[in-house]
Amino acid sequence: MRYKVLALGLSALAVLGIGIILSPLRDREPDPVQAASLAESEKAIVNVEDLMAKPDQHKGRVSVAGIVSGVSVEQKTLALIDRREFSECGVTTCAKLTLPIQWLGPMPDVEDEIILRGEIQNMNEKLIFVAKSLKKLSSLLPKDGNE
């Protein structure tokens, strides 16, 4: 019983101590350089159609969102279509534009909604989006039809 009381008391002191240590940081003004960096990293997410229509306006790191329409594990590539087109037709084969993606990590499933962070590069005289990070948002359609 004494050990429980002692552990509880130490936990309370630790939480109180952390609060006291961090309280001066709460009242500080944000660092303008850090704030600018944060704003830069939180740029709007571009959709596939906008990125492909005006690739020159999206130089450097950019985030793009879409629906996976194809995956090639061997070539380490996937295809991304616009979310609007997918929501209108409900299948991944109806899109007018497909963005080729190079991705070295674990592949998402077809019909997954994802956000990629990377940049457009020219490979073999063709544009490809080279992704540095991938965030899976959801699987839009049930895979087995039972859900």
Q: What confidence tens digit (pLDDT) does each residue in 120-145 have?
A: 998 888 889 999 999 998 655 444 44
Average pLDDT over residues 93-117: 93
The span from the CA of 115 to the CA of 133, in Å, is: 8
The span from the CA of 131 to the CA of 62, in Å, is: 9
The span from the CA of 112 to the CA of 114, in Å, is: 6
Check residue 92 and give its pLDDT. Answer: 85
pTM of the model: 0.65
Strands (E) across the chain are located at: 46-47, 62-72, 77-81, 99-102, 112-123, 126-139
Q: 46 forms bridges with which residues in the sheet?
A: 64
Residue type for position 32:
P
pLDDT confidence bin for 31, thresholds 50/70/90? very low
The span from the CA of 3 to the CA of 128, in Å, is: 61
For residue 114, count other CB atoms closer than 10 A to its CB: 21
Contact 83, 68 (CB under 8 A): no
Higher model confidence: residue 111 or residue 30? 111
- Tokens linked to 19: 């609060």
